[in-house]
Structures are given as C-alpha cells and as structure tokens.
C-alpha cells in the first residue's frame, strides 16, 4: 500500500496527493468551518479515507481527491498534515 511511502515522502516536503493551490486554500480555512464540515460529511470522509488507503498509486489517489468537493479536499489536507506532524514529533524531527 502507498500509505507509508506517502508519509515518508511528506516528511521530506514532497506532498504528492495535493497540489499547492489546494494545500494553500485548505490551510486558509476557518477552523470552525472545518469542524462543521467534519460533522456534516463524516460518513463520506470515512469512505473516501478507506478508498484512498486501498489505492497503491499516488496518481490515482490524487485524481480521486481532486474530484471531491472542496470541503472534503480541505479536510483531507488537514488530516494528512496532522498525521505527518505527529509522525515527525514522535521521531523528534524538526517541522517544516
């Protein structure tokens, strides 16, 4: 599965699942808006995460993510960076 390799690359600053515009837009979102989106789209978000985890090809996962509504893409960006940050903190690596 690609999950581990995506995070290993992410730790080096290579974020294959999202383009720069999506990352920028997601990180500019209001936290309250994001929390409301999690509640409103929880089942769909869980389904998409399950589907992404099962994909072996980053390009296919990126295509799937790009087809999602913006609020779900933004949630995935935040989840991705939360996981990445947690991994880096566990290893004592500096964040970038």
Span 48-86, pLDDT tens digits: 988 888 888 888 999 999 999 998 999 999 989 988 899
DSSP state of 77: H
- Which of the pair, 2 or 57, is modelled with greater confidence? 57
Q: How many domains, the chain?
A: 1
For 42-62, letters b (16+ CB in 10 Å) and e give: eeebeebeeebeebeeeeebb
Q: Round to whole Å and give the CA distance between 87 and 11.
A: 8
Place 93 in a pLDDT band, splitting at 50, 70 and 90: low
- pTM more than 0.85: no
The verdict on residue 96 lying in a domain is no
- What pLDDT is recorded for position 35? 87
Instruction: Please compute, for residue 30, the number of CA atoms within 13 A of its CA located in the half-sphere on the CB side.
Output: 4
Q: Which of 32, 64, 25 is nearest to 47 (CA)?
A: 64
Residue 34 pLDDT? 87
Residue 43 lies in a domain: yes
Q: Specify whether the CB–CB gap between 72 and 41 falls below 8 A.
A: yes
Domain encompassing residue 18: 3-91
């Amino acid at each position: 599965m690609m999950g581990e390799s995506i995070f290993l690359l992410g730790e080096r600053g290579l974020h294959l699942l999202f383009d720069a515009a999506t990352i920028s837009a997601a990180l500019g979102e209001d936290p309250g808006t994001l929390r409301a989106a999690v509640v409103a789209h929880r089942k769909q978000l869980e389904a998409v995460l399950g589907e992404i985890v099962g994909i072996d090809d980053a390009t296919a996962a990126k295509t799937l993510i790009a087809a999602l509504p913006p609020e779900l893409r933004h949630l995935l960006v935040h989840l991705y960076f939360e996981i990445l940050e947690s991994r880096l903190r566990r290893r004592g690596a500096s964040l970038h």
